[in-house]
Amino acid sequence: MTVLTTLRIIGVCGCRSSSVQIGTSPDRDLPAKDSLIIMRTFVASAKSADCRWHVIDANGQVLGRVATLASKLLQGKHKPIYTPFIDTGDHVVVINAAQVKLTGRKEDQKLYRRHSGYEGGLREERATVVRKRQPIRLVEEAVRGMLPKTKMGSAMYRKLKVYAGSDHPHAAQQPRTIEVA
């Protein structure tokens, strides 16, 4: 006589459950090894995440759209193995950062602030002044604001390469060109 044991197996997402009848041997109360179903959750490791290179052309594109695409690629959210506590992101090269667009009146109204650390050391600049002095800073600040504020976020930020013109020295990595939607 076979004793039937009902196990409840919950899916990986935890939203569905199904009952499965598993037969056990008559002399023991343990389920048979060949009929036991085990669900395991995949957790990525730093070694399992392959790092790719992407190029984003920011010529005539809106700054926020370029920055969101770059931050998703840097964090690895486009990959099925995305794990929040492991850096699974890719390297991103942004070219033509000097021609990025700001919508509305942000060119005149947006302020970029930095502080020296001393009393009264707050410095503010408008976006037009920043574009003239350091055009790559517009993209760098926008992407940095969308990354986590942790050590891992700093590691992700180091994978971002921004260039004002269309030339970049990363052709040897064979980067893929990505279009901004």
Give per-residue pLDDT as tens, 119-142.
999 999 999 999 999 999 999 999
Distances (CA, A) of 134 to 61, 66, 140, 150: 18, 17, 10, 25
Residues 150 and 99 in one domain: yes
Residue with tokens 């013109």: 165
Q: How many structural domains does the chain have?
A: 2
Whichever domain contains 66, its CATH number is 3.90.1180.10
Residues 166 and 87 in one domain: yes
Higher pLDDT, 160 or 22: 160
Residue-wise pLDDT tens digits, 61-91: 999 999 999 999 999 999 999 999 999 999 9
Report yes or no on 40 lying in a domain.
no
Residue-wise pLDDT tens digits, 35-66: 778 888 888 888 888 899 999 999 999 999 99
Residues 73 and 12 in one domain: no
Measured between alpha carbons, how far is 71 from 89 in angstroms, rounded to an integer?
9
Sheet containing 53-57: which strands, arranged edge to edge? 160-162, 91-95, 53-57, 176-178
Report yes or no on 134 lying in a domain.
yes
Report yes or no on 45 lying in a domain.
no
Residues 167 and 134 in one domain: yes
- Model confidence at 1, pLDDT cuts 50, 70, 90, reads very low
Residues 28 and 64 in one domain: no
Report yes or no on 168 lying in a domain.
yes
Residues 8 and 96 in one domain: no
Q: Which domain holds residue 174?
A: 53-178
